[in-house]
Structure 1
């Protein structure tokens, strides 16, 4: 089997970074230019820095400490059971994984890496399974309609992934792991920051590699092959920034992950994949209450597909993005005005009738506190070269009626542009498609107490003009804006410390229904579980730590007719760690302890009991 030349190149870069990370004589490097500490604020819900208790939207934040404590096998495993999230995976590590946020479609969630939109313009989804957790510093999940700030796709919400930043003047890191299914992992990084009275800078370089034999992904009859379906991923992140003076700062970043995936159940059974993000920002703050940000970037979702080693197809999506945003403090409020530009291009051996389009978006937002009440009002106009214009808006309100309790309410609209496959795929696409649209209302209650915190959110979302197969089109049918859905749900999140145990949990009750005038009306939308949740419990004993997680989901259906049922399941994971030195630690985890057999997509297997042993070097940041 031939290997793409780019794979050998990036392996050499990984080795170079691993060597560099072991050299302790490297001079202290540059400092973080970020004006705010991301450990204390949320930026995705407003496109501005707000502390978590100020944020009006329903938000889940996962930081680096939690990632290392939970020891998940992948990014999808980390998201499993979180409030509002259902996942469907096609057979284990590296296989196609769909994320359904608040019951909306898998392409109704906007995914960003460091502020840059990722995903495929042909299929519509983002390949979260190809984002290695060793490259992730923090994840913000904002639930609800946010097209009024971001444009297309944010019907269910936004997931923003922040890559790793330095935590000290010199911050090396190294980890190595082995596990079941002949899993091997290696990561290395260096980074740092320095500061003086006039200028500050920072840099970070992180590389990671993982390889696993995997499991037999598929047990159906289409291209059935009972062998194990392996996965390999090699990634590199390089970034840095500099604050020139109190008014000006800039940063640049590049992330690339290259994968080799084996799979079954499709017309192909192997793929070379690339996820790439390159971007930079310049910020100008002429005063304490005025800031302007210019951002430019590109992202790529590249895939070459093979059948038994023979080349079959190419589907490459490339995006170019630009953004100009101004934040102006006026009185007791904050006015944000911005302009976004996005160009999509598709390169494929499949001949699309059109292979590029441009979207321009103009948006504004007002945030203000009125005593114990808060307001967030936003509106946006998008102009798409394919279907024309779309206007969206949202209003969020919060009332701190006691020192510990906040009541919130919101209304919002959102839209999703059709994909290039839906528009132009030969013999199938419909160029007359318009965007899918939604209207949502939400009511929430949040508590912050000495003993812990909790929140409950209830929502109702109606989606119109959903794209579905229309048999009346052409000779063989095709996609059309003919469907509707109504999704109602309740999310509960809580955290506390009890007898020195750190306890966190989330539960979601969902009713995602087909609301169209068709034979499937009132059926449950496919691959969404009506009940899901997780509980995490962790405790430290000086240098030792132990923990457990329990996650589960109710039954779901794999098709629109609700005739293919997948049973509910519950999983238990165990973990332990030992910091035997200030800088060195060893961790061990066992996932699916009871070897539960279950499905999230019909006929696709899930891993049974697995284990992972990790050695980690990470000096205390200074």
Structure 2
């Protein structure tokens, strides 16, 4: 008999209730003993199994094993099983969690939202992995904690360039005239990484040149008190070849950005307080000359887009009996300027609160609420509630419901171009999600299962004014709706020198793009996806293999080709100071494209030499 999504709720609740005597009898130390501590899911440090929802952690060791530590965060995420969408090999790369769009997935760097700019999305190919300590990928709506654009989840990139003093120089070269150079210095209180990546790309006129600098200075750091300054600057220049149907032979784009983030934590008034003061700047220049045969909306295009953000965030945590209460305030001002949308200023502020209630050992009830106010969109209220039940020492069950929203971008509101009409009266799009998850740890193995259901209303969509004439005028409006049902099943095992993992994703997304009631399949990453990973190594040698199988892809009702892609990385340490690695991407030379018309590179090799002193 076929079961609906909701028919599983009574069964899982029954399992949880049966586990109460066991969980109550266990001590809190036995129940919550966990090596991995995460912060993104609740803004407070807690064991991964105790955190609400599903959080995946990609450590520095994972990034090094995959051979992407001198590449981008996009490459590091993709090599560790995350859904990255990229235009060819050098174009914009973004992450889409659980069927959400890239603008609906919030990216943060050290707890500060990075979805700035007139497009409201983050190009992860411009973020260097050299300074990354860990990446926490938290699934589910998190607007109750972080505000706008957290419909699908949150990706928190956490950096650290301090510790035991060491220096490192690396040099790499490979296919498509690819070259990489990096210098990293780590000291007890400060550190920096500087690097340059270049490539001719896998297609005609797809050259890339990227530079980055990241730095950190710790004014002081104790167990419960610190004050840290983070700096990051990136520059990326690429040639844009366009799609294979409409090649743009002379398109060029440059992106420059920098971020300054002062991040602190202290004990004050019997509570723990964290505070952030940050400034962000982003500047994009795009130049596309006219070319024969293009439709009207792909004619000559010259644009410059800028944004400046000044923001602050402060949150305090107090423990009162069985309650752990978090409350805070965020204030932010963003100034936008672009050729297509003009100059605009947006002021935002928000209050948020969260209560983690533990009535008995092994049971947590987490409730959160956030009130956002924007000078552009008015007020938005985002609730969230989760139940975390520890059943014995090995099994954890989690139930959650949350609402989240995405604000219109400046381009949505004010874009000025013949035939495409913006809408200053747009509302934020809103989504809600129900999910049930289980995590079972036994010996060297960890099993995870997550069932979720997402619903989106008031989706922002460029829509033909006359649906029967898609080549006519277009208007952006709150007309789109979507529904997503999904199941993720994962296993990971570690035995001394060997670590293996398998993840299966079933994702069923349907979109009503124009509000007509006509839903169409929209499984951009495939209705069925399997990710396999294997790492074999000791301090001297390391072998890493990961493979991705993607099937049943559709978008806007059109079928897209599935694909299988495997990557291999081998590293050998000749001396304690000198190591070399060989990475081979797309082992089978698979012809595939994530975005239709933008083929990804074929088989590519990269040889890296690294010297530490």
**Same fold, TM-score > 0.5, yes or no:** yes
TM-superposed deviation, 1:350: 3.1
Of the candidates 181, 186, 198, which is equivalent to residue 211 of structure 1?
198
Of the candidates 265, 289, 295, which is equivalent to residue 283 of structure 1?
265
Q: Deviations over 1:101-136 (max 9, x none)?
A: 110122001111112211343212111111122232
Of the candidates 432, 447, 460, which is equivalent to residue 467 of structure 1?
460
> TM-score scaled by structure 2?
0.86
Does the Cα contact within 8 Å between 2:340 and 2:411 map onto a contact in 1?
no
After superposition, residues 579-594 of structure 1 pair within 5 angstroms as: 579-594=573-588
Distance 1:284 1:120 in 2: 28
Distance 1:440 1:596 in 2: 35
Partner secondary structure for residue 457 of structure 1 = strand
Distance 1:471 1:146 in 2: 32
2:177 is aligned to 182
2:39 is aligned to 43
Asked if 1:239 is matched to 2:216, the reply is yes
Q: Deviations over 1:226-265 (max 9, x none)?
A: x241111110011111238787531111101111111122
Of the candidates 399, 402, 412, which is equivalent to residue 402 of structure 2?
412
Q: Compared with structure 1, are the counterparts of its residues 430 and 526 closer, same or farther at alpha carbon in structure 2 (3 Å cutoff)?
A: farther
Does the Cα contact within 8 Å between 1:81 and 1:552 map onto a contact in 2?
no
Q: Compared with structure 1, are the counterparts of its residues 207 and 244 closer, same or farther at alpha carbon in structure 2 (3 Å cutoff)?
A: closer
Partner secondary structure for residue 358 of structure 1 = strand
Of the candidates 535, 539, 549, which is equivalent to residue 538 of structure 1?
535
Distance 2:486 2:78 in 1: 17
2:422 is aligned to 429
Distance 2:318 2:285 in 1: 46
Q: Compared with structure 1, are the counterparts of its residues 538 and 340 closer, same or farther at alpha carbon in structure 2 (3 Å cutoff)?
A: same
2:16 is aligned to none
Q: Compared with structure 1, are the counterparts of its residues 164 and 230 closer, same or farther at alpha carbon in structure 2 (3 Å cutoff)?
A: farther
Distance 1:279 1:429 in 2: 33
TM-superposed deviation, 1:471: 3.4
Distance 1:461 1:498 in 2: 37
Q: Compared with structure 1, are the counterparts of its residues 290 and 541 closer, same or farther at alpha carbon in structure 2 (3 Å cutoff)?
A: closer
Distance 1:592 1:576 in 2: 15
Does the Cα contact within 8 Å between 1:81 and 1:551 map onto a contact in 2?
no
TM-superposed deviation, 1:438: 0.7
Asked if 1:78 is matched to 2:55, the reply is no
After superposition, residues 9-408 of structure 1 pair within 5 angstroms as: 40-72=36-68, 74-80=72-78, 85-93=82-90, 95-168=91-164, 170-193=165-188, 202-216=189-203, 227-243=204-220, 249-265=226-242, 269-286=251-268, 290-307=271-288, 312-352=302-342, 355-369=344-358, 370-408=360-398
Partner secondary structure for residue 79 of structure 1 = helix
TM-superposed deviation, 1:420: 0.6
Does the Cα contact within 8 Å between 2:160 and 2:216 map onto a contact in 1?
no
Q: Compared with structure 1, are the counterparts of its residues 311 and 602 closer, same or farther at alpha carbon in structure 2 (3 Å cutoff)?
A: closer
TM-superposed deviation, 1:190: 1.1
Aligned pair count reads 556
**Stretch of structure 1 that moved more, 495-504 or 363-372:** 495-504
Does the Cα contact within 8 Å between 2:117 and 2:305 map onto a contact in 1?
no
> TM-score scaled by structure 1?
0.85
TM-superposed deviation, 1:142: 0.4
1:196 is aligned to none
Distance 1:492 1:526 in 2: 18
Q: Compared with structure 1, are the counterparts of its residues 438 and 308 closer, same or farther at alpha carbon in structure 2 (3 Å cutoff)?
A: closer
Partner secondary structure for residue 606 of structure 2 = strand
Does the Cα contact within 8 Å between 1:334 and 1:366 map onto a contact in 2?
yes
Does the Cα contact within 8 Å between 1:116 and 1:298 map onto a contact in 2?
no
Does the Cα contact within 8 Å between 2:278 and 2:310 map onto a contact in 1?
yes
* Structure 2 unpaired stretches of 5+: 1-33, 291-299
Distance 1:128 1:600 in 2: 15
TM-superposed deviation, 1:145: 0.3
Distance 1:245 1:435 in 2: 41
**Stretch of structure 1 that moved more, 340-349 or 151-160:** 340-349
Distance 1:478 1:485 in 2: 19
Of the candidates 575, 578, 590, which is equivalent to residue 596 of structure 1?
590
TM-superposed deviation, 1:399: 0.9
Does the Cα contact within 8 Å between 1:396 and 1:410 map onto a contact in 2?
yes
TM-superposed deviation, 1:269: 1.1
Asked if 1:491 is matched to 2:488, the reply is yes
Distance 1:245 1:305 in 2: 46
Distance 1:461 1:439 in 2: 6
Moved over 6 A (4+): 244-247, 308-311
Does the Cα contact within 8 Å between 1:325 and 1:339 map onto a contact in 2?
yes
Q: Compared with structure 1, are the counterparts of its residues 343 and 568 closer, same or farther at alpha carbon in structure 2 (3 Å cutoff)?
A: same
TM-superposed deviation, 1:308: 6.8
Does the Cα contact within 8 Å between 1:396 and 1:409 map onto a contact in 2?
yes
Distance 1:258 1:97 in 2: 15
Partner secondary structure for residue 101 of structure 1 = coil
Does the Cα contact within 8 Å between 2:508 and 2:523 map onto a contact in 1?
no
Distance 1:56 1:387 in 2: 29
Partner secondary structure for residue 519 of structure 2 = coil
Partner secondary structure for residue 129 of structure 1 = helix
Distance 1:530 1:230 in 2: 33
Does the Cα contact within 8 Å between 2:191 and 2:216 map onto a contact in 1?
yes
Partner secondary structure for residue 43 of structure 2 = coil
* Structure 1 unpaired stretches of 5+: 1-37, 194-201, 217-226
